Amino acid sequence: MPDEEKTEDPTPKRRQEARKEGQVAQSKELNSALTLLFSFIIFYFTMSKMIKEIIEFLTKVYTQYFTMQLSAHNFHTLFIEIMFFILKLVAPIMIGVAAIGVLAIYLQIGFLFTTKPLKPSFSKLNPIEGFKQLFSKRSVVELIKSLFKIGVIGYICYITIAGIVPELVLLTQGGVEIALNLLADTAYSLGMRVSAAFIILGIADLFYQKWEHTQQLKMSKKEVEDEQKEQDGNPEVKSERQKRQQEMAQSRMMQDVPDADVVITNPTHIAVALKFDIETMEAPVVVAMGQDEVARKIKEVAKEYEIEIVEEKPLARALYKMVDIGDQIPAELYQAVAGILAYVYKLDRKV
């Protein structure tokens, strides 16, 4: 029997399961572009200091080491000093690049730690699967991106270097510092232009990766139905759903409390908010009610909106037991409620 066609968008549960497996939509192109951009920004702010240090180091090498006797010890000392100098020179950029790389990944996928992608997989070792990957849609997309990057780098290098040819000719008349400044400015200009082009590519790639990720996670109608059945039978899911529904209902109920004319209390355990409009209602309506914590919140809202709170234990209990939210009060409670409303209207000078 052939597999059912996967036409349905992935459910939140399916996406969460894929995330646990390390399957997330992210653009490595955008990560690389941001890393490249910020590395050249850091380079720009450290460029003058780097040039100064390079000149000082070259002067030191020329004046000290070129006059020394060539020996294994001296060569080792010079090698160590050169390595240490290079490390000190590039350390700020490397630290910045590492930090930006981590931040770029976090901004795309958030915090995610999983070892699943590192586990050995037969499909990764299978030569037939590997051969198929060579002609897959993903390989074609990667080839297009690579060709785009090669073209962009080549074009930007051409226009940048072509623009400084006159200055290159004059380099023979300048010193080391002038040459280093020109090289640094050229490298910065190249880096920023390439970074800008790569960021555009990265943004486009991010949208593509999100689309492709959704396509890979698509489900058949049967899979969606099976998942729904599984969730409906899960006590934890059912409990969580009921809890959310109760919270939403309570939130809507609290929004109606300011419209009430009076709140009748137990006084601490029960609170019932009543509203009555003589022109549109046949009898008072319960707009909100609850016990304990909910009752406390109803009273807080009532105080905030200066709604009269009346302590009437038997009536509060009767209303709580006999009436649902949104219903009119029963006829047997008319007289008791009418007396309270008359008292409230008198206080408010409504009659």
Note whether 183 and 55 are within 8 A (CB).
no
Report the SS3 class of residue 271.
Answer: strand
* SS3 label, residue 191: helix
pLDDT tens digits for range 162-180: 888 777 766 666 677 777 8
Neighbours of 347 (CB within 10 A): 10
- Tell me how far apart the alpha carbons of residues 270 and 227 are, in angstroms, rounded to a whole number: 41
Instruction: Specify whether the CB–CB gap between 96 and 42 falls below 8 A.
Output: yes
Q: Which amino acid makes up residue 207? A: F
* Distance from C-alpha of 253 to C-alpha of 264, rounded to nearest angstrom: 16
Q: Which two tokens stand for residue 153?
A: 């780098």
Q: Is the pLDDT of residue 160 over 70?
A: yes
End-to-end CA distance of the chain: 78
User: Residues 320, 291: contact at Cβ < 8 Å?
Assistant: yes
66: enclosing H helix or E strand: none
- Least Cα distance to 246 among 298, 185, 290 occurs for 290
Q: Which residue has the tokens 């180091």?
A: 57
- Cβ proximity of 296 and 341 under 8 Å: no
pLDDT, tens digit, 9 for 90 and up, residues 188-221: 888 899 999 999 998 998 898 888 888 888 888 8
Q: What is the pLDDT of residue 115?
A: 60
Q: From 3, 1, 2, 14, select the one nearest 226 (Cα to Cα).
A: 14
Mean pLDDT, to the nearest integer, of 53-78?
A: 77
Q: Is the dihedral of CA 144, 145, 150, 155 positive or negative?
A: positive
- 3-state SS assignment for residue 113: coil
Q: What is the pLDDT of residues 214-249, one digit of tens each?
A: 888 888 888 888 887 776 666 666 677 777 877 787
CA atoms of 28 and 201, how far apart (whole Å): 11
- Boundaries of every domain in the chain: 12-227, 256-348
Q: Which residue has the tokens 């002067």?
A: 59
Q: Would the pTM of this model clear 0.85, i.e. be above it?
A: no
What is the C-alpha to C-alpha distance for residues 79 and 62, in angstroms, rounded to an integer? 14
The two three-digit tokens of residue 221, written as one number: 């109608």
Which residues are CB-contacts of 10 (< 8 A; sequence separation ≥ 6)? Answer: 18, 214, 217, 218, 219
Distances (CA, A) of 338 to 61, 341, 343: 102, 5, 9
Confidence of residue 125 (pLDDT cuts 50, 70, 90): very low
CA distance 290 to 269: 8
- pLDDT recorded at residue 1: 41
Is the domain 256-348 a CATH 3.40.630.10 member?
no
